Chain A
Amino acid sequence: MDRQFWTYLGWRVLQSLVIIAIVIVGSFLLLHLVPGDMVDVLGGQRGDMDAELMATLRERYGLDQPVLVQLLNYVGSVLQGDLGYSYRNATDVLSLVLQRLPATILLVVCSVITAVFFGTMAGVIAARHAHRPIDVIISMIVLVFYATPIFLTGLGLVIVFSVKLKLLPIGGLITPGVDFSFLELVGDVALHLILPVFSLSLFYIAIYARLARASMLQVLDQDYIRTAYAKGLSTYNVIIGHALRNALLPVVTMVGLQIAELFGGAVLTETIFSLPGVGRLAYDAVFERDYPLILGVLLVCAFIIIVVNLIIDIIYTLLDPRVEISR
């Protein structure tokens, strides 16, 4: 790690902060464009609030202030680590989100790893045997993965593995009411995650398999691969030692581009498998018009996506020494 690298890192962090600021302001203003405020929603649902009570509530929560003041108040409290208060859950937003975050992070991280690992492996095997039966079979499987929507994959997997075969749990993250040791807990969570992770990652396995195949074929045609063979290396060592790292570069880039999309998929997956994650929380928050909570979830997700992108950029520069890390 030379100085150039740290300068680069500093810049990227700064960039990220700017993006987060834009996200905060942007989503706050966006939610303010929606007609009616929190108090209207509460009033509409309870139906027994009079105008006086509503005015009191507005005053209490600062909703009677001009938008700009509200925004500044919000930014101020976010900077102090306070994401606001969820009236509907009667808890502060941050602790609500943090409580749900582990399940989501577990789901997303496992899905990315699964997708990259199996996708790349399938792509590399297909490229190695390009235009031969194995390649054709892999292409067909990949096409099926690609074309099946997440909810269908999820429901299908549940029906086969949980309902019919009774091999895996139907939903949730932990078997309720059992006193587990730590290792048993890990095993139990892993069992619960298998189906959600595969439902979420099948589509991405397909994407990465296609990408890895194409990039592997291109790499295998390069002069330095010929050099590697000229040294006397076996095909296996040429692929693992010389081609794979180069072929992975486009896959890594793609992961970075798709991470936000993957969070979207996580909402759906968490709903199907009733996982106690942020996705479920956001889903419920939208239906209940719990604005502070929606805003908080948006913010935390944006933060995570930005951090993940930063990590992926760093991985990329470590993989490819040619990347210009100035700017």
Chain B
Amino acid sequence: MQEQEQGAALLDVRKLSVLIKQSSRQKVRAVDAVSFSVGVGETLALVGESGAGKSLTAMAIMRLHKAQSMGVEADSIRLDGQELSTLSDREIRKIRGSTMAMIFQDPLSSLNPVLTVERQLVEAIRLHNDMSAAAARQRALELLDMVRIPAAKSRLGEYSHRLSGGMRQRVMIAMALAGNPKLILADEPTTALDVTISAQILDLLRELQTELGVGMLFITHDLHAVRSIAHRVAVMYSGRIVETGNVEDVFSRPHHPYTEGLLAARPHGSFSLDGHKLREIPGTVPSPADRPAGCAFGPRCNRSQPDCESQPPSLRNETGARTSFACYHPLKEVPA
């Protein structure tokens, strides 16, 4: 399942930073120069504890960050051959919801409470397709079928509060598919759902991804989800990517002490990491405002040396290692 089908990069992000204004003078780099790419038909999982900067990364790509309080810097954000970072707001609007679409964490709050499913779906369809109202309604039914909503016709007139959590997220996914996207950014789409439902949504996303050949940036803090859905994974810590590679390689031979900590910290059989479950890694993620000068993981790292505090290690590929990592003293061996 996890064979690498990496084609030409669909999304290529170079040195993307998100700066948050703290006061009129002060800005903090909540996302600090991350680079990664997502291939056509590929799923890249962005994984890390809460506050790592995963959502901000996705929002910056969609240009949905709060413009009054945040700034985005990037050497380049290329999507399907087009440079996004230099587009005007008007131009990016044409791409949002069509070439790239986003699914959010909480489907209840993410759907408009006073508009019917039909109204919200048809709006998304007609915005990016030249269609009559009747054709759009037909397409809405098709989309609801595609996300396996039974009795789709009777759901069209419903409001979100009358749907179950799983149904709501399916509607969100249908809406994301409305503009025939090439890239889907899914920000913790299963976190707000209970275990069974979350597994169903995960299956649906995986199937749709294969069926439609879309690329996916899948954000999660659930290692189990990473394993079941992603081809490659990028581990984020305090606004930076600390290790990346194929899921199999990262999971079986992590080189970064943080990745190893995450994997070791998961409770028996489960891969979930909810922040406080990480008992094996003492301490907490530093906020972007008081991130240490050198390696951000330093204060929590059991392998740290004095040279770790000099400057942040950059992501590199060491000979013999199958993953890229940002660490001066990486693990060399398969952990027991």
Q: Which residues of A contact B (CB under 8 A)?
A: 222-224, 226-234, 241-242, 245-246, 319-322
Contacts and interface: CB of A to CB of B under 8 A. Distances in A.
Most A Cβ at <10 Å: residue of B101, B111, B115, B172? B115
B64 A232 contact: no
Given A223-B106, A223-B109, A319 B114 contact: yes
A225 to B, nearest CB: 8
Interface size class of B (residues with CB under 8 A): 20 to 34
B112 A242 contact: yes
Nearest to A242: B112
Contacts of A229: 64, 96
Nearest to B101: A230
Contacts of A232: 93-98, 127-128, 179
Contacts of B124: 231
A233 B95 CA distance: 11
A231 B113 contact: no
Contacts of A226: 64, 104, 110
B36 interface: no
Contacts, number: 70
B112 A227 contact: yes
Contacts of B115: 242, 245
Interface string B134-148: 000000000000000
A231 B110 contact: no
Q: Is the interface of A mostly helix, strand, loop or mixed?
A: helix
Contact of A320 (B110, B114, B175): B114
B309 interface: no
A227 B159 contact: no
Given A224-B109, A233-B97, A233-B127, 17 more contacts: A223-B106, A223-B109, A226-B104, A227-B111, A229-B96, A230-B64, A230-B104, A231-B124, A231-B127, A232-B94, A232-B95, A232-B128, A242-B112, A246-B112, A321-B159, A321-B161, A322-B161
Nearest to B127: A232
B112 A228 contact: yes
Given A231-B124, A322-B159, A245 B96 contact: no
Contact of B102 (A224, A230, A234): A230
Contacts of B12: none
Contacts of A224: 109-113
B96 A230 contact: yes
A233 B64 CA distance: 12
Contacts of A245: 114-115
A227 B115 CA distance: 13
A231 B175 contact: yes
Interface in B72-108: 93-98, 101-102, 104, 106
Most A Cβ at <10 Å: residue of B101, B114, B178? B114
A234 B91 CA distance: 11
Nearest to B116: A321
